[in-house]
Chain A
Amino acid sequence: MAASLQHAIEQQQLPLEIVRNGSRGMYWLEPLIEIDTGHGRIAFGPVTRDKVGEFITSRFWEHSTEHPLYLGPTEDIPYLKNQQRVTFARVGLINPLSLEDYCAHNGFKGLQAALNMPAQDIVTCITDSGLRGRGGAAFPTGIKWQTVLDTPSDRKYVVCNADEGDSGTFSDRMLMESDPFSLIEGMVIAGLAVGADLGYIYLREEYPLTKQIFEEAIEIARVNGYLGKTVAGSDRQFDLELRLGAGAYICGEETSMLESLEGKRGEVRPKPPLPAVKGLFGKPSVINNVITLASVPTILAHGPAVYQGYGIGNSRGTLPFQLAGNLKHTGLVELAFGGTLRVLLKDFGGGTRSGKPMRAVQVGGPLGAYLPESQWDTPLDYEAFLAIDAMLGHGGVVAFDESVDMCEQARFSLEFCSIESCGKCTPCRIGSVRGTEVIDRIRQAVENEEKRVESIELLEELCDTMIDGSLCAMGGMTPFPVRSALLHFPEDFKSSA
């Protein structure tokens, strides 16, 4: 589409110049075209391929407000206006691979600040910001960094976990494709903070476009002196390498990812030792998710208090929520902690795309609970979600309408675990297979209530075993969606539908 627009501009000598920016995260309005008027941007969308011709002949840039695809100033679209874009401040605004754009939008300010600070002060700044791991586990980032800083070693690593395997999540992908330099800057700062001079990004194979864009970004950063022996003209060195996963969900678990980076089967390591003490190649390693690391530059640039000022309780800052599945307005919504799921689903999401009543919402990926409407007013806060046996995780929100069969969803959770289990511990490897078999028995036992109740009890016990006995979150949390389905949607475990 951009090509046909470019062609028209050249042919007709139109007074337009095309800039390919990243996504604004309003996918139902895409392809979105914005005109930079010099005082704010005006949006049009969705400009689908079949509409491009008419779009150009209408000379949309002259009579903008009358065009049927006119959306008004981009920043005034409620979906964007009602967000708190902190980590995603530049996403959708800039040309992702333009260093000039990046610098013009506060890029490398955090790095400049960090280069003038002792390592301990950088770590303290992150600790004071209240930033917690955005990959899902929500571990305080500052504490992790402090451990790596305090562990003496001849070599340390920064590892970015970009193995974004949770269904319903795409914020890592979007950030790496639309603002890659922010992640690079965050990783360099992490290196300065803990004394590491090499970083790895472990990216999933399923993201080929991300790989292409991010490798280009690394090369641009290197050529311009932001990576290499003299970072931004200083005497500090730091370099980055991108490594690809190979289609294994478990490699999003940090120790499994380390094994994979070392060239082995991605089997989970028992902890301790913590990776912060003995991580990649046996060396102290900072391991953080993409969003965690990409939040670091803004914290350094504006001070910890600004970031800490967002959020509630122990959930400080913002989380980029990803509205996915059966919603009218799917997309990326970055919000300070403290809102409610209902606001995300209704005000932002606009209800279901199918138009049927919404029935269940899975938050936090395939290991997250399914929430019925009675729980949609739970505050978006790590602890509040834990209190109802759910999790915010990486911020994925997948909505289902009334056609969903929750028994089938519970079965899928166990089936997925059996396919993706690394096989190291028995509760996960065997438990998941037995779990799918038990659910099949429940479905076959519609006529035999006694057998059905017995099988449900067995499933409950199996869930306990997996929670208590698994080595990592894969086996330990697969029971969450299963249990929530049983608890909140028991009627689906009665019919064989």
Chain B
Amino acid sequence: MNKISHRQSELAKHVADIVQELKLEQGALLPILHAVQDELGYVPPESVPFIADSLNLSRAEVHGVIGFYHYFRSSPPGRYTVQICRAESCQSMGSRVMEDHAKELLGIDFHETTADGEVTLLPVYCLGNCACSPSVRVGNEIFSHVDKIRFDTIIDGLGHQAVEVK
């Protein structure tokens, strides 16, 4: 078995286990998609027909649900997912400037991943941390009062080589 097909069968097994466990829940699709993304980091497009079949849905329906929600992704993210809050409370404390700085520092726009595969940058609309704006989320950790300098510190702390500054 070559590497690619081995990996595909690994993915398929993960998805099959998850679907088996959750498919009898009421409204099972979102819990299944969450579990798949928790496990694999994304929802592989090749798993859509299997998920659809198991829930007696069409492929278009499953595809439509994945596409509707900002959180679900169809390709693997970078090693770290960095979300910058773009909502009003953070705006009032200077998030627009910090956001521009972040894009420049990483050399990418929102929804992109750095060339070294380390950081995926995403917008988020509120982390419920509005008393300590601006806010940034990395994985499951939330950072408060993030200005340009603090953003640099967060990125430096990710444990990867300094990002090349453009």
Closest residue of chain A to B28 (Cβ to Cβ) is: A263
Residues of A near B142 (CB, < 8 A) are 209
The answer to whether A281 touches B27, judged by C-beta atoms less than 8 angstroms apart, is yes
Contacts A206-B124, A247-B70 given; does A325 touch B133 at CB 8 Å: yes
Counted as pairs of residues, one from A and one from B, with CB atoms less than 8 Å apart, the total is: 132
B162 at the interface (CB under 8 A from A): no
Smallest Cβ distance from B25 to chain A, in angstroms? 9
Considering only residues 136-158 of chain B, those with a C-beta below 8 Å from chain A are: 137, 140, 142
- Check if A244 is an interface residue, CB within 8 A of chain B: yes
Residues of A within 8 A of B129 (CB): 170
Taking CB atoms and an 8 Å cut-off, the chain A residues in 369-406 that contact chain B are 396, 398-401, 404
CB distance from A393 to the nearest CB of B (A): 13
Determine chain B's interface SS by DSSP, over half rule: mixed
Residue A27 is within 8 A (CB to CB) of chain B in the complex: yes
Q: How far is the CA of A46 from the CA of B64 in the complex (A)?
A: 48
CB contact under 8 A between A246 and B92, given known A169-B128, A170-B131, A262-B27: no
Contact call A412/B88, Cβ cutoff below 8 A: yes
Contact assessment for A323 and B92 in the assembled complex, using a CB-CB cutoff below 8 Å: no
- Could you give, for residues 157-169 of chain A, a 1 whenever the CB lies within 8 Å of some chain B CB and a 0 otherwise? 0000000111111
Q: Mark A241-264, 1 if CB is under 8 A from B, else 0.
A: 001111111000000000011111
Which residues 22-46 of B sit at the A interface, judged by CB distance below 8 A?
Answer: 26-31, 33-34
Interface size class of B (residues with CB under 8 A): 35 or more
Q: How far is the CB of A420 from chain B (nearest CB, A)?
A: 7
Q: Which of B87, B90, B132, B137 contacts A330 (CB 8 A)?
A: B132
Cβ of B157 to closest chain A Cβ, rounded Å = 14
The answer for the CA separation of A145 and B69 in the assembled complex, in Å, is: 31
Q: Is there contact, CB below 8 Å, between B92 and A325? A: yes
Residue of B64, B65, B126 near A206 (CB, 8 A) is B126
- Shortest CB–CB separation between residue B156 and chain A, in angstroms? 18
Q: Which of A209, A267, A281 is within 8 Å of B26, CB to CB?
A: A281
Chain B residue at smallest Cβ distance from A167: B87
A324, B130: Cβ atoms closer than 8 Å: yes
Given A170-B131, A247-B124, A263-B29: A399 and B92 interface contact (C-beta under 8 Å): yes
User: A247 and B92: CB pair below 8 A?
Assistant: no
Contacts of B91 in A (CB 8 A): 400, 409, 412
The 5 A-B pairs at the shortest CB distance, nearest first, are namely A167-B87, A263-B29, A324-B130, A246-B69, A247-B71
Residues of A within 8 A of B (CB): 27, 164-170, 172-173, 205-210, 243-249, 260-267, 281, 322-326, 330-332, 353, 362, 366, 396, 398-401, 404, 409, 412, 416, 419-420, 422
Binding site for A on B (CB under 8 A): 26-31, 33-34, 55, 61, 64-65, 68-72, 85, 87-93, 124-133, 137, 140, 142
**Given A170-B130, A324-B89: 7 more A-B contacts, CB < 8 Å:** A243-B27, A261-B30, A262-B26, A264-B29, A322-B130, A325-B130, A412-B88
A–B complex contacts, Cβ < 8 Å, 20 sampled: A167-B87, A167-B89, A169-B126, A207-B127, A210-B128, A244-B30, A246-B33, A246-B70, A248-B69, A248-B71, A249-B125, A262-B26, A263-B55, A266-B68, A324-B130, A325-B93, A398-B92, A401-B92, A409-B88, A409-B91
